[in-house]
Amino acid sequence: MYSIIRKRKLAEDTYLMEIEAPRIAKSALPGQFVIVKTTERGERIPLTIVDYDRDKCITLIFKAIGLSTREMASMGEGDSFKDVVGPLGRASNLVSLTDNELADYRVAFVAGGIGIAPVYPQVKWLYEHGNRPDVIAGAKTKSLLFYTDELQKMSDLHVVTDDESYGMKGMVTDCLRNILENGVRYDEIVAVGSMIMMKFVVELAREFSIPCTVSLNSLMVDGTGMCGACRVTIGGKTKFK
């Protein structure tokens, strides 16, 4: 169980794995995640459920930047994870909208680097329900980008790189500002990426009076909210990341 069905390198230090987990795949929704362990004593690693085959497997994407994720990257097809727990977390608020509500609902996703992974399932879900959102995907350079072909099919995609190796040169907020200053208005902006990037997206959304949702990915301990590590206080109320 939890065997690796397929493994593919997507970009520099970025890998895709399809994991056999039919029970998780049956109930997963965009925005949810799993916690994986490679071995009995391995670190518990939270990863977004990027995609799923309802009868067979889930798709995970991760960046090999630390000891545990580098160990994951060394695993191959046929190897198995010790444990995969999920689906955890709350699904995206977008999945609660009806098809009639989605018909005229304009969404812009702003994704930085590995943030493309959690944006993808939300974009796919919207596209399958008749909505074609805007997506701004950014990275330092072209070699760090992935899923641009897939996103191009389901959204109006804008690509930004720091060195202009692909798409326009600059930051994702530069691209978003250009769009907004040209008169485009959104019902919601969703940002996933570094904390500093999301901060400036929120400030830009506030400037144009547009609701903005961000992903506050912190270290997950138990993944259910019981331990308190994933709780934040917003407007005097406790929320879960």
CATH code where residue 115 lies: 3.40.50.80
Assess if residue 226 is contained within a domain: no
83 & 97 share domain: no
84 & 176 share domain: no
Mean pLDDT (whole number) for 125-143: 94
pLDDT at site 220:
61
156 & 118 share domain: yes
Q: What is the pLDDT of residues 180-204, one digit of tens each?
A: 999 999 999 999 998 899 999 999 9
29 & 140 share domain: no
pLDDT at site 119:
95
Ranges of H-type helices in the chain: 22-27, 67-74, 99-103, 116-128, 148-154, 172-181, 195-207
Burial of 179 (0-12, 13-18, 19+ CB in 10 A): middle
Quote the CA–CA distance of 119 and 32 in Å, as a whole number: 11
Assess if residue 223 is contained within a domain: no
Assess if residue 231 is contained within a domain: no
Assess if residue 219 is contained within a domain: no
Mean pLDDT (whole number) for 167-188: 94
Q: Which residues pair with 159 in a beta bridge?
A: 137
Assess if residue 228 is contained within a domain: no
Q: CATH number for the domain including 48?
A: 2.40.30.10
Task: Please identify which residue in the block is written with the tokens 């400036």.
Answer: 200
Domain of residue 59 covers 4-88
Assess if residue 225 is contained within a domain: no
112 & 210 share domain: yes
Assess if residue 192 is contained within a domain: yes
Quote the CA–CA distance of 156 and 201 in Å, as a whole number: 18
177 & 84 share domain: no
Assess if residue 235 is contained within a domain: no
Last residue of a domain, one of 88, 108, 126: 88
pLDDT at site 231:
72
Give the predicted TM-score (pTM) of the model.
Answer: 0.89
Task: Please identify which residue in the block is written with the tokens 């994986």.
Answer: 36
104 & 69 share domain: no
79 & 97 share domain: no
Q: What is the pLDDT of residues 71-128, one digit of tens each?
A: 999 999 999 999 999 999 889 999 999 988 998 899 999 999 899 999 999 999 999 9
From the list 237, 241, 213, 211, the residue with the least C-alpha distance to 229 is 241
Q: Which segments within the chain are labelled E, that is strand?
A: 4-11, 14-20, 33-37, 45-53, 57-63, 83-88, 107-112, 134-139, 156-161, 168-169, 188-192, 212-214, 231-234, 237-240
79 & 144 share domain: no
pLDDT at site 66:
87
